[in-house]
Structure 1
Amino acid sequence: MENKKQCRSSAVRQQRWNRPGVCGLDNSGNSCYLNAVLQCLCSTVPFVEHLLNQDTRKELVRSKCRVAEVFVRLLEEMWMGRSSSCAPVEARSVLCSILPQFDNDSQQDAQELLLFLLNALHDDLIRVAKRQKCSSMRQQRRAQNRNCATAAVESTIVTHMFEGQLSYMTLCMHCDHQAHSTQTFTVLSLPIPTDIIKCSIQDCLSLFFEQTTLSGGEQMLCSVCGLRRETAVLTCMDKPPEILMLHLKRFGCKGKNQVKLRTNVFFSATLDLTPFLSSSIENTSYSSYCLYAVVNHIGNLNMGHYTALCQNTLTQTWHCFDDSAVREVEDSLVQSPNAYMLLYSREPFQKPKIHGL
């Protein structure tokens, strides 16, 4: 009799829960790092819209994209708003099958997992894009008997949304010769000023982009001098990403010991990148970003816990996701000394266009 009452009570709760995009995730053995990352990606509305598009889903099935298929099914369950929590068991199982370093109950790094997951999704989506391109080329150039299997496809929704580009200028301190190079990035790992109690995210960005001088054993070979010289390195951002992901480097070494920096890094709902952009970028719309998700880390290096704070696009309210536990929080409570990752969007998210929502 008691079991029947519990079942009826659970059914009532499920019926009353109608919050699309607000869904806790059960912990399956110290998997809080994975749950926090999944919540942030679930709140990245344009990314979700693309993956839950019916055409995209059909192509994923045709191309046998295991990781993306499982991830999409989980996103659908989280966005349909049918229950207050679900179990990402299948998603974790598939990830562990291709990333065995996460196949244990040890505490893992959320930022590292995020990069691996995005790479895996990118690889699956590349497979879809190549299949589509080959199909198109076969139809258009069948008479030429051209091999389309090697068709170069490098861009996906992952690269379009999350990739940016840094520009480096090196200056020989002896002859003033300049050299330029670029590097793509998905996450900016920002140093935190040491020996202080609090700072701002702008302080961390300034430290990342400050001019450095390579001397001693780090001297670079100057192509003009033909010798290793002291070199100044200037860094700026050439291409700001649609989604800017900032990682605060809280874990480091102090002597022989690994420590966690507990500096309270203050961040705001908007972020201005203007001081760090290349002079070649003239459009000011590139510079302003809106915060929509935060990954928090509580505890120390070996005994810690991850949670996520995400803004729901439909209600414009913030929720704290502590594995399966979900609660709405005031905007003022988003700021926290436990912030580990910050996710900003260049464009405010619109109401999601998701089939069945």
Structure 2
Amino acid sequence: MGANGSKLEKALGDQFPEGERYFGLENFGNTCYCNSVLQALYFCVPFREQLLEYYANAKNLTDTEENLLTCLADLFTQISLQKKKTGVLPPKRFVQRLKKQNEIFRSYMHQDAHEFLNYLLNELVDILEKESHAAKTDAETSSPPPEKVANGPKTIQANGAKKEPLVTWVHKNFQGILTNETRCLRCETVTARDETFFDLSLDIEQNSSITSCLKNFSSTETLNAEDKFFCDKCCSLQEAQKRMKIKKPPHILVIHLKRFKYIEHLSRYKKLTYRVVFPLELKLSNTVEDLDAEYSLFAVVVHVGSGPNHGHYVSLVKSHNHWLFFDDEAVEMIDESAVQTFFGSAQEYSSNTDHGYILFYERLAAASTS
């Protein structure tokens, strides 16, 4: 890091808490997609704290098998325990494990940061669920058999009882619930179907904003002609209106901007360089309860480049009211106003190729009902 490192160290020492660390991550050949997402997750403080707590507990378990979760927890622990405030660390163990587990990330080709984030969160959930199941099985096999009574065991689960899904700390941070409402225009019956999400993928338009993208996401669509809806009450195909609303806003709202669009006549993907304004403070007004959920932006993964199959990823993170720029090994402080330069381009052809791609918002405590 040299002179820049010592300059940053001085700035960090003056303005940041003693325990916070700001480390660049070494690039192992086109692993910027991974580094940029890891920085955003590291500065997702509730996620980081629970991961560090998991690692501290896991260290006591000698038979913990290495997996993506233990490698990530080990990396975050390494960063947090560094003596210096800033420097560079190689996330070698994590990257090796990622490539070993998923052949998509094995090559040195340009990878998609959103695809990586999706894979990582789902993999962490799978590991935690397996560990919970294994712990429960161990507890059941080590517990004494149920006491026999005239009509069988004292504790018995009713047949057909619905098993509640396990809610891990990954779910508690990132999972929200969408509800898909379809209203039959003949009998007015509303059919609602819920689905969970870890991030919202939004279609984008030129010179728009996150607020307008969210409104479009929840806009009402009419189902008619060949797209009619089969209404169970009418027992026939009927015209209907469909819309998607947020039933339960997540604690950490991750928004993925669909910047890569497949162009049929070209038979390839094209990058949309559209200018999409993402505010530092965001109100979600399209929730089922019609209550505003308030969020604050704390990280942005930025795609740099003109196309989807090449380019670079960097990240911006907010820590203790200051913004920092992470570009693999390099770390520097930036002004809050610099965030606006990553909104996108107002014209189709522009020299600016740095565009916000994945946005991370944390729900403000005052607005949270949980």
Same structural fold, with TM-score higher than 0.5 when normalized by the shorter chain:
yes
CA-to-aligned-CA distance 1:186-241 (integer Å, 9 cap, x gap): 01001112xx3x11110111111111122333322121232222221122111111
**Matching residue's letter, 1:36:** S
**Which residue of structure 1 aligns with residue 295 of structure 2?**
289
Q: CA distance change for structure 1 residues 14 and 317 in 2, over 3 Å: closer, same or farther?
A: closer
Indicate conservation of the 8 Å contact 2:8/2:333, yes or no: no
- Equivalents in 2 of 1:213, 1:260: separation in Å? 29
Q: CA distance change for structure 1 residues 152 and 203 in 2, over 3 Å: closer, same or farther?
A: closer
Q: 2:176 aligns with which of 137, 146, 164?
A: 164
Indicate conservation of the 8 Å contact 1:50/1:56, yes or no: no
- 1:152 is displaced (CA, Å) by 6.9
1:298 matched to 2:312? The reply is no
- Equivalents in 2 of 1:48, 1:98: separation in Å? 23
CA-to-aligned-CA distance 1:289-317 (integer Å, 9 cap, x gap): 1110001111111221111001124xx32
**Matching residue's letter, 2:277:** F
- Equivalents in 1 of 2:137, 2:201: separation in Å? 37
Q: CA distance change for structure 1 residues 59 and 229 in 2, over 3 Å: closer, same or farther?
A: farther
Indicate conservation of the 8 Å contact 1:253/1:259, yes or no: yes
Question: Aligned with 1:126: secondary structure?
Answer: helix
Q: 2:248 aligns with which of 239, 243, 268?
A: 239
Question: Aligned with 1:302: secondary structure?
Answer: coil
CA-to-aligned-CA distance 1:261-290 (integer Å, 9 cap, x gap): 1111112211101x21112x76x6xx1111
**Which residue of structure 2 aligns with residue 192 of structure 1?**
204
Greater CA drift, 336-345 or 62-71:
62-71
- 1:121 is displaced (CA, Å) by 1.2
**Matching residue's letter, 1:270:** E
1:342 matched to 2:359? The reply is yes
Q: 2:130 aligns with which of 124, 127, 133?
A: 127
Question: Aligned with 1:204: secondary structure?
Answer: helix
Q: CA distance change for structure 1 residues 230 and 76 in 2, over 3 Å: closer, same or farther?
A: same
Question: Aligned with 2:261: secondary structure?
Answer: strand
Q: CA distance change for structure 1 residues 155 and 71 in 2, over 3 Å: closer, same or farther?
A: same
Q: CA distance change for structure 1 residues 301 and 189 in 2, over 3 Å: closer, same or farther?
A: same
Indicate conservation of the 8 Å contact 2:8/2:332, yes or no: no
**Which residue of structure 2 aligns with residue 332 of structure 1?**
337
- Equivalents in 1 of 2:178, 2:34: separation in Å? 28
- Equivalents in 1 of 2:136, 2:231: separation in Å? 43
**Which residue of structure 1 aligns with residue 327 of structure 2?**
322
**Matching residue's letter, 2:26:** D
**Which residue of structure 2 aligns with residue 92 of structure 1?**
95
**Which residue of structure 1 aligns with residue 120 of structure 2?**
117
CA-to-aligned-CA distance 1:18-43 (integer Å, 9 cap, x gap): 78331111111111111111111111
Indicate conservation of the 8 Å contact 2:182/2:190, yes or no: yes
- Equivalents in 2 of 1:124, 1:65: separation in Å? 11
1:277 matched to 2:302? The reply is no
- Equivalents in 1 of 2:239, 2:129: separation in Å? 42
1:204 matched to 2:207? The reply is no
Indicate conservation of the 8 Å contact 2:178/2:248, yes or no: yes
Q: 1:154 aligns with which of 166, 186, 189?
A: 166
- 1:113 is displaced (CA, Å) by 0.5
Q: CA distance change for structure 1 residues 65 and 158 in 2, over 3 Å: closer, same or farther?
A: farther
Q: CA distance change for structure 1 residues 85 and 55 in 2, over 3 Å: closer, same or farther?
A: closer
Q: CA distance change for structure 1 residues 123 and 69 in 2, over 3 Å: closer, same or farther?
A: same
Indicate conservation of the 8 Å contact 1:242/1:346, yes or no: yes
**Which residue of structure 1 aligns with residue 352 of structure 2?**
none
Greater CA drift, 203-212 or 54-63:
54-63
**Matching residue's letter, 2:282:** L
- 1:80 is displaced (CA, Å) by 2.9
**Which residue of structure 1 aligns with residue 24 of structure 2?**
24
**Matching residue's letter, 2:21:** G
**Which residue of structure 2 aligns with residue 268 of structure 1?**
279
**Matching residue's letter, 1:175:** C
- Equivalents in 2 of 1:80, 1:216: separation in Å? 62
Q: 1:252 aligns with which of 261, 273, 284?
A: 261
**Which residue of structure 1 aligns with residue 347 of structure 2?**
none
Q: CA distance change for structure 1 residues 343 and 59 in 2, over 3 Å: closer, same or farther?
A: farther
1:66 matched to 2:67? The reply is yes
Indicate conservation of the 8 Å contact 2:58/2:64, yes or no: no
Question: Aligned with 1:27: secondary structure?
Answer: coil
Q: CA distance change for structure 1 residues 66 and 109 in 2, over 3 Å: closer, same or farther?
A: same
Greater CA drift, 78-87 or 316-325:
78-87
1:34-49 mapped onto 2 (5 Å cutoff) = 34-49=34-49
Q: CA distance change for structure 1 residues 224 and 92 in 2, over 3 Å: closer, same or farther?
A: same
Q: CA distance change for structure 1 residues 333 and 183 in 2, over 3 Å: closer, same or farther?
A: same
Q: What RMSD in Å do the two structures reach over aligned CA positions?
A: 3.0
Q: Where does the alignment leave 5 or more consecutive residues of structure 1 unmatched? A: 1-5, 349-357
Q: CA distance change for structure 1 residues 176 and 12 in 2, over 3 Å: closer, same or farther?
A: closer
